Amino acid sequence: MSIKRKTTRTKKVKQKIKRTSTKITKNQSDKVEKRVNKSDPFKPGDFCYYIDANNKIRFAEVRSAHVHEETGEYFYQMIDQHEFRFLTAHHDHCADDKAELKGIKRK
């Protein structure tokens, strides 16, 4: 006859992930290069503000610029500087200043 032992389960402790601020710092905003002609495309390596899918203004680095074959409009592949995720944005949704994007909504 075997003896049953009663054991208690130990709770696993989850490590807390440190939250980072999503505010754009002065160092990041100083990296934005002002373009003279606003219709000129961003170059790879430039930093800009963009409107995300939730109509919030975010900050990103442009990785590459592409031209749409049919319409000739610019699209950018970017990396968000807070969440570090890749995204694609249209030229109309990108700007040098936050103020330029105020009141603009994505459709």
Give the pLDDT mean for 13-31.
76
- Please give the pLDDT value at position 83: 87
Residue of 78 and 30 predicted with greater confidence: 78
Q: What is the 3-state secondary structure (H, E, C) of 14-29?
A: CCCCCCCCCCCCHHHH
- DSSP tag of 92: G
Inter-CA distances, 83 with 19, 22, 37, 77, 103, Å: 11, 9, 29, 15, 24
What does the pLDDT read at residue 21?
67
Q: What gap in Å lies between CA 49 and CA 60, rounded to an integer?
A: 6
Quick one: pLDDT band at residue 34, thresholds 50, 70, 90? confident
Are the beta carbons of 44 and 65 closer than 8 angstroms? yes
List of residues 6+ apart from 30 with CB closer than 8 A: none
Which tens digits make up the pLDDT trace of 44-64? Answer: 999 999 999 999 999 999 999
- What mean pLDDT, rounded, does the chain reach? 86
Is pLDDT at 67 greater than 70 in this prediction? yes
pTM: 0.73
Coil, helix or strand for 22? Answer: coil
Confidence class for position 1, pLDDT limits 50, 70, 90: low
Q: What pLDDT sits at residue 75? A: 94
d(CA 9, CA 12) in angstroms, rounded, equals: 9
DSSP assignment letter at 21: -
| Spatial contact of 48 and 94, defined as CB atoms under 8 Å apart | yes
